[in-house]
Structure 1
Amino acid sequence: LSYSDITEHSFLGEFDLLHHSCTDIHELDWTKPAHCEATVKYFKLCHAHKEITQLNVEVHQLRTAIHDKAAQMTTVITELLVLDPPLAHELQWQWKAHEAVNA
Protein backbone atom coordinates (compact mmCIF):
# COMPACT_ATOMS: atom_id res chain seq x y z
CA LEU A 1 0.00 0.00 0.00
CA SER A 2 1.57 3.26 -1.11
CA TYR A 3 0.94 6.85 -0.14
CA SER A 4 -0.60 7.56 -3.56
CA ASP A 5 -3.10 4.70 -3.02
CA ILE A 6 -4.11 6.24 0.29
CA THR A 7 -4.52 9.72 -1.14
CA GLU A 8 -6.45 8.41 -4.15
CA HIS A 9 -9.07 6.85 -1.90
CA SER A 10 -9.02 9.44 0.88
CA PHE A 11 -11.82 11.47 -0.66
CA LEU A 12 -14.17 8.48 -0.24
CA GLY A 13 -13.94 8.92 3.52
CA GLU A 14 -15.78 12.22 3.16
CA PHE A 15 -19.04 10.39 2.42
CA ASP A 16 -20.73 9.29 5.67
CA LEU A 17 -23.13 7.06 3.72
CA LEU A 18 -20.23 4.89 2.58
CA HIS A 19 -19.19 4.14 6.15
CA HIS A 20 -22.39 2.14 6.62
CA SER A 21 -22.35 0.43 3.22
CA CYS A 22 -21.85 -3.32 2.92
CA THR A 23 -20.82 -3.08 -0.73
CA ASP A 24 -17.19 -2.79 -1.76
CA ILE A 25 -17.18 0.40 -3.76
CA HIS A 26 -13.43 0.82 -4.29
CA GLU A 27 -13.53 -0.63 -7.80
CA LEU A 28 -16.49 1.38 -9.10
CA ASP A 29 -15.78 4.00 -11.77
CA TRP A 30 -16.98 6.96 -9.75
CA THR A 31 -14.48 6.19 -6.97
CA LYS A 32 -11.49 6.59 -9.25
CA PRO A 33 -9.76 9.97 -8.83
CA ALA A 34 -9.63 10.59 -12.58
CA HIS A 35 -13.41 10.21 -12.83
CA CYS A 36 -13.90 12.41 -9.79
CA GLU A 37 -11.66 15.12 -11.22
CA ALA A 38 -13.40 14.91 -14.59
CA THR A 39 -16.77 15.32 -12.87
CA VAL A 40 -15.56 18.35 -10.93
CA LYS A 41 -14.19 19.90 -14.14
CA TYR A 42 -17.44 19.16 -15.96
CA PHE A 43 -19.51 20.96 -13.32
CA LYS A 44 -17.07 23.88 -13.29
CA LEU A 45 -17.46 24.09 -17.07
CA CYS A 46 -21.26 24.04 -16.73
CA HIS A 47 -21.04 26.85 -14.18
CA ALA A 48 -18.74 28.83 -16.49
CA HIS A 49 -21.29 28.53 -19.32
CA LYS A 50 -24.03 29.85 -17.02
CA GLU A 51 -21.79 32.69 -15.91
CA ILE A 52 -20.99 33.64 -19.52
CA THR A 53 -24.72 33.69 -20.30
CA GLN A 54 -25.32 35.98 -17.30
CA LEU A 55 -22.43 38.24 -18.27
CA ASN A 56 -23.84 38.57 -21.80
CA VAL A 57 -27.08 39.85 -20.25
CA GLU A 58 -25.19 42.24 -17.97
CA VAL A 59 -23.12 43.60 -20.88
CA HIS A 60 -26.31 44.61 -22.69
CA GLN A 61 -27.66 46.20 -19.51
CA LEU A 62 -24.44 48.15 -19.03
CA ARG A 63 -24.44 49.37 -22.64
CA THR A 64 -28.04 50.53 -22.24
CA ALA A 65 -27.22 52.31 -18.98
CA ILE A 66 -24.24 54.08 -20.57
CA HIS A 67 -26.37 55.13 -23.55
CA ASP A 68 -29.19 56.39 -21.30
CA LYS A 69 -26.74 58.33 -19.11
CA ALA A 70 -25.19 59.95 -22.19
CA ALA A 71 -28.61 61.01 -23.45
CA GLN A 72 -29.55 62.39 -20.03
CA MET A 73 -26.30 64.33 -19.67
CA THR A 74 -26.65 65.80 -23.17
CA THR A 75 -30.14 67.01 -22.28
CA VAL A 76 -29.03 68.50 -18.96
CA ILE A 77 -26.01 70.25 -20.50
CA THR A 78 -28.18 71.68 -23.30
CA GLU A 79 -30.67 73.07 -20.77
CA LEU A 80 -27.88 74.48 -18.59
CA LEU A 81 -26.30 76.29 -21.55
CA VAL A 82 -29.33 78.59 -21.46
CA LEU A 83 -29.79 78.81 -17.67
CA ASP A 84 -26.20 78.78 -16.36
CA PRO A 85 -23.50 78.74 -19.07
CA PRO A 86 -20.48 78.51 -16.70
CA LEU A 87 -21.99 75.50 -14.94
CA ALA A 88 -22.88 73.96 -18.30
CA HIS A 89 -19.30 74.31 -19.55
CA GLU A 90 -17.88 72.81 -16.36
CA LEU A 91 -20.34 69.92 -16.52
CA GLN A 92 -19.56 69.46 -20.20
CA TRP A 93 -15.82 69.31 -19.42
CA GLN A 94 -16.41 66.77 -16.64
CA TRP A 95 -18.72 64.71 -18.85
CA LYS A 96 -16.17 64.54 -21.69
CA ALA A 97 -13.62 63.04 -19.29
CA HIS A 98 -16.22 60.58 -18.02
CA GLU A 99 -17.38 59.74 -21.54
CA ALA A 100 -13.80 58.98 -22.64
CA VAL A 101 -13.72 56.17 -20.08
CA ASN A 102 -16.94 54.70 -21.49
CA ALA A 103 -15.71 54.79 -25.08
Structure 2
Amino acid sequence: QLLWKDITEYSFLGECDLRQHSWTDICKLDWTKPAPQEATVKYFKLCGAREEIMWLNVEIQRLCMAIHDKDIQMTAVITNLLVSNPLLGRELQRQWQTCVAVN
Protein backbone atom coordinates (compact mmCIF):
# COMPACT_ATOMS: atom_id res chain seq x y z
CA GLN A 1 0.00 0.00 0.00
CA LEU A 2 1.19 3.47 -0.84
CA LEU A 3 1.52 5.74 2.20
CA TRP A 4 1.64 9.51 2.63
CA LYS A 5 5.27 9.39 3.82
CA ASP A 6 6.21 7.73 0.52
CA ILE A 7 4.49 10.48 -1.45
CA THR A 8 6.16 13.35 0.43
CA GLU A 9 9.44 12.33 -1.18
CA TYR A 10 8.07 13.82 -4.40
CA SER A 11 7.47 17.53 -4.79
CA PHE A 12 4.77 16.97 -7.38
CA LEU A 13 2.55 13.92 -7.66
CA GLY A 14 3.09 13.94 -11.41
CA GLU A 15 6.72 12.93 -10.91
CA CYS A 16 5.79 9.35 -10.09
CA ASP A 17 3.54 6.90 -11.88
CA LEU A 18 1.26 6.09 -8.95
CA ARG A 19 -1.34 4.05 -10.78
CA GLN A 20 1.22 1.64 -12.15
CA HIS A 21 2.65 0.76 -8.72
CA SER A 22 -0.55 0.80 -6.67
CA TRP A 23 -2.73 -2.14 -5.63
CA THR A 24 -5.67 0.05 -4.69
CA ASP A 25 -7.52 2.77 -6.52
CA ILE A 26 -5.46 5.73 -5.43
CA CYS A 27 -7.88 8.26 -6.91
CA LYS A 28 -10.11 7.83 -3.87
CA LEU A 29 -7.39 8.61 -1.32
CA ASP A 30 -7.37 12.04 0.33
CA TRP A 31 -3.85 12.98 -0.73
CA THR A 32 -4.75 12.66 -4.43
CA LYS A 33 -7.21 15.54 -4.23
CA PRO A 34 -6.13 19.07 -5.27
CA ALA A 35 -6.06 20.66 -1.80
CA PRO A 36 -3.56 18.19 -0.27
CA GLN A 37 -1.49 18.31 -3.45
CA GLU A 38 -1.30 22.11 -3.24
CA ALA A 39 -0.46 21.87 0.45
CA THR A 40 2.40 19.50 -0.36
CA VAL A 41 3.78 21.85 -3.00
CA LYS A 42 3.54 24.78 -0.57
CA TYR A 43 5.23 22.72 2.14
CA PHE A 44 8.24 22.04 -0.08
CA LYS A 45 8.39 25.68 -1.16
CA LEU A 46 8.39 26.66 2.51
CA CYS A 47 11.23 24.20 3.19
CA GLY A 48 13.19 25.79 0.34
CA ALA A 49 12.50 29.28 1.67
CA ARG A 50 13.73 28.30 5.15
CA GLU A 51 16.92 26.90 3.66
CA GLU A 52 17.45 30.09 1.69
CA ILE A 53 16.93 32.23 4.81
CA MET A 54 19.61 30.23 6.61
CA TRP A 55 21.97 30.73 3.65
CA LEU A 56 21.22 34.46 3.54
CA ASN A 57 21.94 34.81 7.27
CA VAL A 58 25.40 33.36 6.63
CA GLU A 59 25.94 35.69 3.66
CA ILE A 60 24.85 38.72 5.71
CA GLN A 61 27.49 37.89 8.33
CA ARG A 62 30.13 37.53 5.60
CA LEU A 63 29.17 40.88 4.11
CA CYS A 64 29.28 42.61 7.50
CA MET A 65 32.73 41.18 8.19
CA ALA A 66 33.97 42.23 4.73
CA ILE A 67 32.72 45.79 5.30
CA HIS A 68 34.33 45.88 8.75
CA ASP A 69 37.66 44.54 7.45
CA LYS A 70 37.66 47.02 4.56
CA ASP A 71 36.99 49.88 6.98
CA ILE A 72 39.97 48.90 9.13
CA GLN A 73 42.20 48.53 6.08
CA MET A 74 41.17 51.86 4.53
CA THR A 75 41.55 53.72 7.83
CA ALA A 76 45.12 52.44 8.14
CA VAL A 77 45.95 53.37 4.52
CA ILE A 78 44.44 56.85 4.91
CA THR A 79 46.36 57.41 8.16
CA ASN A 80 49.64 56.48 6.47
CA LEU A 81 48.87 58.64 3.42
CA LEU A 82 48.01 61.68 5.53
CA VAL A 83 51.58 61.52 6.84
CA SER A 84 53.41 60.64 3.61
CA ASN A 85 51.22 62.36 0.99
CA PRO A 86 48.66 64.71 2.62
CA LEU A 87 46.90 65.72 -0.63
CA LEU A 88 46.30 62.13 -1.71
CA GLY A 89 45.40 61.16 1.86
CA ARG A 90 42.74 63.87 2.13
CA GLU A 91 41.27 62.98 -1.27
CA LEU A 92 41.10 59.30 -0.39
CA GLN A 93 39.60 60.22 2.98
CA ARG A 94 36.90 62.30 1.26
CA GLN A 95 36.02 59.46 -1.12
CA TRP A 96 36.07 56.87 1.64
CA GLN A 97 33.65 58.94 3.75
CA THR A 98 31.16 58.68 0.88
CA CYS A 99 31.54 54.88 0.86
CA VAL A 100 31.18 54.68 4.63
CA ALA A 101 27.97 56.72 4.45
CA VAL A 102 26.51 54.12 2.08
CA ASN A 103 27.57 51.19 4.23
| TM-score after normalising by structure 1 | 0.77
Q: Is 1:72 aligned with 2:73?
A: yes
The residue that corresponds to 1:60 in the other structure is: 61
> Which runs of 4 or more aligned residues in structure 1 lie more than 4 Å from their structure 2 counterparts after TM superposition?
none
Q: Which runs of 5+ in 2 are unaligned?
A: 1-11
| Higher helix proportion | 1
Of structures 1 and 2, the one with the larger relative CO (CA 8 A, separation 6+) is 2
Q: CA deviation at 1:19?
A: 5.8
Say which is worse superposed, 25-34 or 71-80, in terms of deviation. Answer: 25-34
Tell me: CA distance 1:15–1:65, structure 2 relative to 1, closer, same or farther (3 Å): closer
Amino acid corresponding to residue 86 of structure 2 in structure 1: P
Residues 59-102 of structure 1 deviation map (CA, whole Å, 9 limit, x = unaligned): 11111111000000000000111111111111000000000000
The residue that corresponds to 1:39 in the other structure is: 40
Structure 2: how far apart are the matches of 1:27 and 1:58? 46
> What is the RMSD computed on CA atoms of the aligned residues?
1.9
Amino acid corresponding to residue 87 of structure 1 in structure 2: L
Structure 1: how far apart are the matches of 2:15 and 2:50? 28
Structure 2: how far apart are the matches of 1:19 and 1:56? 43
The residue that corresponds to 2:86 in the other structure is: 85
Residues 4-49 of structure 1 deviation map (CA, whole Å, 9 limit, x = unaligned): xxxxxxx86x456246456422111221110010011111111111
Q: Which runs of 5+ in 1 are unaligned?
A: 1-10
2:81 touches 2:89 (CA, 8 Å); kept in 1? yes
| TM-score after normalising by structure 2 | 0.77
The residue that corresponds to 1:51 in the other structure is: 52
- Of all paired residues, the percent bearing the same amino acid is 60
